[in-house]
Amino acid sequence: MSFTEEIKRRRTFGIISHPDAGKTTLTEKLLLFGGAIQEAGAVKNNKIKKGATSDFMEIERQRGISVATSVLAFNYKNKKINILDTPGHKDFAEDTFRTLTAVDSVIVVIDVAKGVEEQTEKLVEVCRMRNIPMIVFINKLDREGKDAFDLMDEVEKKLKLRVTPLSFPIGMGYDFQGIYNLWEKNINLFSGDSRKNIEDTIAFSDINNPELDKIVGEKAAIKLREELELIEEVYPPFSREEYLEGDLQPVFFGSALNNFGVRELLDCFIEIAPSPRPKHSDTRLVEPTEQKMSGFVFKIHANMDPKHRDRLAFIKIVSGTFERNKPYAHVRLNKNLKFSSPNAFFAEKKEIVDISYPGDIVGLHDTGNFKIGDTLTEGEEMNFKGIPSFSPEHFRYINNADPMKAKQLEKGIDQLMDEGVAQLFTLEMNNRKIIGTVGALQYEVIQYRLEHEYGAKCSYENFPAHKACWIKPLDPKSEEFAEFRRIKQKFLAHDKYGQLVFLADSEFTIQMTQSKFPNVKMFFTSEME
């Protein structure tokens, strides 16, 4: 297959939602259709309780939430599909924001009963800002929930999207009978049997055919005809161009747990979703069809396999082909590296790949060379943009709870911070270490992983900070900057990369400091322009 054909057959997308909307279950059912797994992990029989395939960290299995982005790949109808399953919990939003820099499109999962929730709003806003094409999947239709039209209104108002349904439910909750697929013009009947991989589909090009009354009952048939008429009047017809530009979002209905409506979503997705898209670097726009390889690190994960203490950097290939054992330039370090065992993923199962194409996600074994946002090229000096560290909102001193394990603690903190789990600040005054996180749950994850992966124990105590502000003086030698340093010395620290950070205790302090020291610039992400 030619290079351009390989690019065209790739679909790299993320699945985003509020926790518990069914994101991980949907991921799993997509894998089931792709033949990548034989049995869903969510099927909890009495003998064994399997965890979902994409939740491979021990703490995820215990808590039943996803805390790290999983990368999963499979083939379906001659398309190579790369899924990034992201954490829904708001305390892990930073991982999700970074993952959204590596996807070409997104599926937004919404719970039929809860409708649009807060975390979904934040994530969709990021997608809107980046014009990422989105498909909406309204999940859990077999449960009692909101009316389909009300839900679509809510999606339009709260998420500021312009939607058009490509499938529509016949009944809801207890009356749920199936789905009319507007995209394929057929009816899919719901049996409620989650063990069935494929439901019965009946071709139905003419909705006025009296056969419909026999299949779903007269009452349901009349209601469906009325609703489809209303859809035609109210919603815009589907246009792929508008979808790709981020101006129109198709909506599908289904029940991921019951494997229902998932095939319709997947079949339409592989037809309409974009193949790998061009990406802006700090010097130019990079096209996927360029012959020379370029890619960037959007995630680092330590201890994918606890037995081997391995650390993987996840790289999204933007252009050219990534080949095993070929040297590539690490732009930030200005040195050449080559990789003897680049990995492709299927949750925690990895396999070595000889060649990867634009859109693919490759895992590279890392001995500490990479940080999030690093760029690899074939010699060109450029960096891909938009992968910042956000200002944390929670701050705590970290203390060593076992003096015999100081080395293990230091190594553990160092590696977990490289993953972007949290940020480490070292106070200038006394060198005490402070961990800043976006969400409080992160502290639990850090404590758990330090103990179980590195054999180190830590304790925390509160540090009174409201926000981390990265500092960049217009003139580092000015008296104004010297005065700023003298007054704020108690709250000055350095991040992991040596950048100066002011740990402000309130919004008011930030405003006062900005007006008093106008030439000392403050930034709320580490990507200082």
Known binding-site positions for GTP: 17-24, 85-89, 139-142
Tokens (6 digits) for 361: 């996600």
Q: How many CA atoms lie within 13 A of 35 on its CB side?
A: 6
Residues 442 and 429: beta-carbon distance below 8 Å: no
3-state class (DSSP) for residue 498: coil
Residue 110 identity (one-letter amino acid): I
C-alpha span between 396 and 157 (Å, rounded)? 38
C-alpha span between 354 and 323 (Å, rounded)? 6
* Dihedral sign computed on CA atoms, order 419, 420, 421, 425: positive
Closest CA to 394 of 446, 462, 457: 462
The distance in angstroms from the start CA to the end CA of the chain is 42
Binding site listing: 17-24, 85-89, 139-142
DSSP characters over 110-177: EETTTBS-HHHHHHHHHHHHTT--EEEEEE-TTS----HHHHHHHHHHHH---EEESEEEES-GGG--
Burial degree of 89 (CB within 10 A; 0-12, 13-18, 19+): buried
| Secondary structure, 3-state, 260-289 | ECHHHHHHHHHHHCCCCCCEEECCCEECCC
- Residue 129 CA from chain centroid, whole number: 15
Phi, psi for residue 346 in degrees, rounded to 5: -145, 90
